[in-house]
Structure 1
């Protein structure tokens, strides 16, 4: 009994120690609070910046693996109005909630937490704008940037902004203030970013998805050109094409993102520290390889697999094939609201409106939160 009790205590304290490494906190940044989640460690911290519409939890699937190898501090956060972060109650004009206000809020939060020195940045999508702005304001503190299909301002031409202006603005409710202000201020955000150059001294790995998400061919060509021009502008920038991955590369191919971030982190270390890291990197690569094969087998003909197959047909304008795949998905996964949602989308695109409405109603029945 005594031996068992000793084992229990050891396991308890180990569990407590591991749990206590993560700090989930609200930081007061001037009468309102911003949410940060910090996986504590030693070394140059890595800050993750989510895309539009996402909060910091979007990164949860890759953090443990990165922390296990690097041992450094990992930081995620919710921008104002997203997740658990509040909006500044003292601001009155909608234009006050733009990206310049957002970057000051981030800087204040990081400073209060003690992370206002050297840092590595990992942005996704819209987070690329924040990273560009942050790096331009702190070029000597930002030691590396790993961009994951992240925004570059050259993609947002005046014509694109006009198209965006014609799109419906999200409703303004207490729950949607973040995305509402983001969309409202998007043109001004682009104008701000057009005046800013990404600092040439900061090394960058620019990871991009090769999958066109329904853009016209000429616009897709522009996107690829802007990324290529960005990388070619400096010798310390590298492009990685994430074959087979969509926009959320860190979900489609987490191993690629995890190992790329570890590589970037290792390049900030001295030779002795890199040697210590090497064994962990090799062990991690083996684990990720095993997990990738397991996931591949689990996803073979899974709901997500069929759904993506259907959208591939849609992108190629093979609507009859898309309808067949989406219909099969609803038959194989009758409890999936997303399967009915996707089938409804394909039916609508095929001008089968009555059937589309039926599928959308079924989707809402399964998931009343599906807006």
Structure 2
């Protein structure tokens, strides 16, 4: 697999060790005074930072007030809530909904958790946050990349809470055949080895934690299905994370089509010309599809 493809695979499946991520995850910035995504973009709506404790660690949630349905934006691998900073004020103005973003454990201003990254623990964190925020019904999940895994398990556990989802080039179960898992593990091993050899930082620790349980976690994920009765819009990028590897790119698109085609209340949307980073490449498309889902709810 080429070095270009290795970087692409890493961006989808493991936290990204990029300059932007290092700045976003600076441990020296106190969580209590962190600027919220909407506030930092100059939005008129006031976004409140709420720290939520779950199983001994704290998580940063950012809440822009509004009515139901509440729209929860979950960032991709290695990204924190600032991935959505430009979309939050536009979404708030367009829908009037309560908008919630958050930093998953180990990212942004949320505490790190020792051990391997566990999608079920991530689901528990999101459940705890929404419970603390008293969001008990009519949630629309918007999940990019790795957050698609959190969304799939979360919706299965809370089908009556979620009224719809917009999966943005999301990591979906059908992609993770035995062959694909083996390819991903092989492709990312050099970066994982380099992280282990490098000085320990929040970012390298998160990378190692995500890689630690990667294969068994995704073998299990491959057997999971999106629950019936919960509408989903599946947005897939034209280039996919695997631009440069036609075989892998096609398998990624096929996985998206399989999820979208498995129920009558699902829609497949192709972000023509977009890279994997659809929220940045085509924010208008993402906004439009979230608005449609909010209207359905």
Q: Name which of structure 1's ranges 30-39 and 181-190 shifts more when overlaid on structure 2.
A: 181-190
Question: Does 2:169 correspond to 1:149?
Answer: yes
Question: Does 2:82 correspond to 1:54?
Answer: no
Residues 298-346 of structure 1 show CA distances to partners (whole Å, capped at 9, x for unaligned) of xxxxxxxxxxxxxxxxxxxxxxxxxxxxxxxxxxxxxxxxxxxxxxxxx
Given the alignment, which residue of 132, 148, 153 partners 1:133? Answer: 153
Query: d(CA) in 2 for partners of 1:44 and 1:263?
Result: 12
Matched positions, count: 247
Given the alignment, which residue of 168, 175, 180 partners 1:160? Answer: 180
What residue in structure 2 maps to residue 290 of structure 1?
none
- Aligned-pair distance for 1:221? 2.2
Query: d(CA) in 1 for partners of 2:207 and 2:140?
Result: 26
What residue in structure 1 maps to residue 101 of structure 2?
76
- Aligned-pair distance for 1:129? 0.5
Relative contact order, higher structure (CA 8 A, sep 6+)? 2
Given the alignment, which residue of 82, 85, 90 partners 2:110? Answer: 85
What residue in structure 2 maps to residue 236 of structure 1?
265
Residues 18-46 of structure 1 show CA distances to partners (whole Å, capped at 9, x for unaligned) of 76731112212233210111111111101
Question: Does 2:68 correspond to 1:40?
Answer: no
| Structure having the larger proportion of residues in helix | 1
Q: 5 Å matches for 1:145-294?
A: 145-166=165-186, 167-168=189-190, 169=192, 171=195, 173-176=200-203, 177-212=205-240, 213-268=242-297
Q: Name which of structure 1's ranges 220-229 and 238-247 shifts more when overlaid on structure 2.
A: 220-229
What residue in structure 1 maps to residue 8 of structure 2?
none
Given the alignment, which residue of 64, 67, 75 partners 2:89? Answer: 64
TM-score by length of 1: 0.63
Residues 243-296 of structure 1 show CA distances to partners (whole Å, capped at 9, x for unaligned) of 12111112111111111111110111xxxxxxxxxxxxxxxxxxxxxxxxxxxx
TM-score by length of 2: 0.77
Structure of greater Rg? 1
Q: 5 Å matches for 1:299-310?
A: none
- Aligned-pair distance for 1:174? 4.3
Query: d(CA) in 2 for partners of 1:20 and 1:98?
Result: 34
What residue in structure 2 maps to residue 5 of structure 1?
none
| Structure having the larger proportion of residues in strand | 2
Q: What SS class does the counterpart of residue 51 from structure 1 fall into?
A: coil
Query: d(CA) in 1 for partners of 2:207 and 2:126?
Result: 17
- Aligned-pair distance for 1:139? 1.1
Distance 1:180 1:266, change over 3 A: same
Q: What SS class does the counterpart of residue 134 from structure 1 fall into?
A: helix
Question: Does 2:144 correspond to 1:124?
Answer: yes
Distance 1:148 1:263, change over 3 A: same
Q: Note the residue ranges of structure 1 that are not aligned, 5 or more in a row.
A: 1-14, 269-371
Q: What SS class does the counterpart of residue 86 from structure 2 fall into?
A: helix
Whether the aligned pair in 2 keeps the contact of 1:107 and 1:116 (CA below 8 Å) is no
Query: d(CA) in 1 for partners of 2:69 and 2:126?
Result: 17
